[in-house]
Amino acid sequence: ILSAVCITSPKTCFGSCPTFYAWDGENDALMAEGFSASIAPVLEARDVDALSRLVPVDGKVSLRMTNEALETHVVRRADLLAAERKPGIQTVATDENEFYGVSEIVAPLKANAATGDCLDKLVEADGAEWFSRADSTDLATKEWITLEFPATTGDDLGLVISSRQTLMTTYLLYQTLAYMGSSTGWWLAHMESLGPRAVTYTENLLGYLGGIEVQVDDGNGWRSVGETNEVGPLATDTRLVPLGKIDSELRSVRLRLTQGYWRIDQVALARIGDQVEPSRIRPTHVMREGKPDERAREALLDPDSTLTTMPGDEYTLVYNLPDRHSKYDLFLDSRGYYYEWIRQEWLEEEDPNGVAMMLFETDRAMRELAPDFKRVEAGAEQSFWGSRYAR
């Protein structure tokens, strides 16, 4: 069945690095995905994800780390970060992985996009996401969401955004690998030889479509104050974008983003308090198939070692919270990289000129690939989630 799904839509097959599940009070729910942009060893990176819905049990947290795709995962660490929750204050991370306590969190009064009124999708983090469809002629086309908040003043304001990417990211990554084809190994080895320059080239591709840019209108016209750009289509993450100095009363905020590239669950205005330093918690037990796996635990504790997983592998990581009676805002701090396996269906599109277009003429690639992506866009989510690898 998986093969049939991928033959029908090979650019939207499931894949996106290690996936992490935990108890949310009712179910074992998808909470996070690790280092989604790290598609080669030279791109190994840290990834911090908010575990907003996780519910500890008896002062312990159990994370189920799975490899559900045709990928090889190389995990250097998977730690918890715990910030003790104070009354009326929530700890939120920025894209720079700095943590702040925020309070006075306020939902927008109005929210409008080109698709119309979208307030009901953005007022709560309830899984009812706002999203749009991509432009049919240029995947880089921008759109705006305009938000109105109660009049607020102060230089300590920030926007809290809960979001994830659509499957446009997956499609573009898989298309690039299809162009590499049977020479993918050579391309990845070449990336290693480029060192830091490889990061630049990858950012040109993965970062070309940009993040969710935040603009404010404080009486002097719209101006950009920051953005959030968390890569990955699986799990919603929550980030803080500080608004900086506001010259007058703030009422309106605008989000500028690539059309059809983001799914947004919540946007809220908040007052930023003190910077927070969460406690780092290493896994005390690592289980595989219900049995302790000490080698896996040691690999995750040793910064010079890695834990490698293959399709179908699953580990349970157990953590002890500092105080079982306290409440915490929890984050996953993972680091590593992964390899995508080349699908047979992709090899028909091998084209070195296509690779060059993706890396060096990305604007042209976004125009040429738009019609093909539009053909698969409507059924992409069903194809993606229906093709998870299972042992």
Give the tens place of pLDDT for each residue, 147-196: 999 999 989 999 999 999 999 999 999 999 999 999 999 988 888 887 77
Q: In degrees rounded to 5, what are phi and psi of residue 114? A: -60, -25
- Angle at the Cα of 98 (from 93 to 99), degrees rounded to 5? 55
- For 29, the enclosing helix (H) or strand (E) is strand 28-33
Predicted pLDDT at 98 = 98
From the list 317, 312, 266, the residue with the least C-alpha distance to 72 is 312
Predicted confidence band of residue 6 (pLDDT cuts 50, 70, 90): low
Predicted pLDDT at 203 = 67
Q: Residues 6 or more apart from 378 whose CB is under 8 A from it?
A: none
* DSSP conformation letters of 228-239: E----SSS-EEE
**Cα–chain-centroid distance for residue 11?**
19
Taking the C-alpha atoms of residue 362 and residue 257, their distance in angstroms, rounded to an integer, is 17
Per-residue pLDDT, averaged over 241-246, amounts to 92
User: Cβ distance 252 to 216 under 8 Å?
Assistant: yes
**Cα–chain-centroid distance for residue 355?**
24
Give the tens place of pLDDT for each residue, 78-121: 999 999 999 999 999 999 999 999 999 999 999 999 999 999 99
Predicted confidence band of residue 391 (pLDDT cuts 50, 70, 90): very low
User: Cβ distance 5 to 383 under 8 Å?
Assistant: yes
The overall average pLDDT reported for the chain is 92
CA atoms within 13 A on the CB side of 90: 21
Taking the C-alpha atoms of residue 25 and residue 217, their distance in angstroms, rounded to an integer, is 40
Residues 186-191: contacts with CB under 8 Å, at least 24 apart: 187/355, 188/40, 188/339, 191/40, 191/42, 191/43
In the chain, % helix, strand, coil (3-state, to 5) comes to 25, 40, 35
Taking the C-alpha atoms of residue 132 and residue 241, their distance in angstroms, rounded to an integer, is 22
Position 78: which residue type?
A
Taking the C-alpha atoms of residue 105 and residue 222, their distance in angstroms, rounded to an integer, is 23
Residue 142, judged by CB atoms within 10 A of its CB (0-12, 13-18, 19+), counts as middle
User: Cβ distance 80 to 332 under 8 Å?
Assistant: yes
pTM for this entry:
0.94
**Residue 156 token pair:** 């300590």
Q: Residues 6 or more apart from 62 whose CB is under 8 A from it?
A: 22, 23, 316, 317, 318, 319
Predicted pLDDT at 390 = 52
From the list 84, 17, 263, 232, the residue with the least C-alpha distance to 161 is 263
Per-residue pLDDT, averaged over 23-44, amounts to 93
Taking the C-alpha atoms of residue 215 and residue 68, their distance in angstroms, rounded to an integer, is 38
Per-residue pLDDT, averaged over 262-266, amounts to 98
- DSSP state, residue 220: S
Q: What percent of the chain has a predicted confidence (pLDDT) above 70?
A: 94
Taking the C-alpha atoms of residue 269 and residue 159, their distance in angstroms, rounded to an integer, is 5
Predicted pLDDT at 109 = 98
Instruction: Quickly count: other Cβ atoms within 10 Å of residue 217's Cβ.
Output: 15
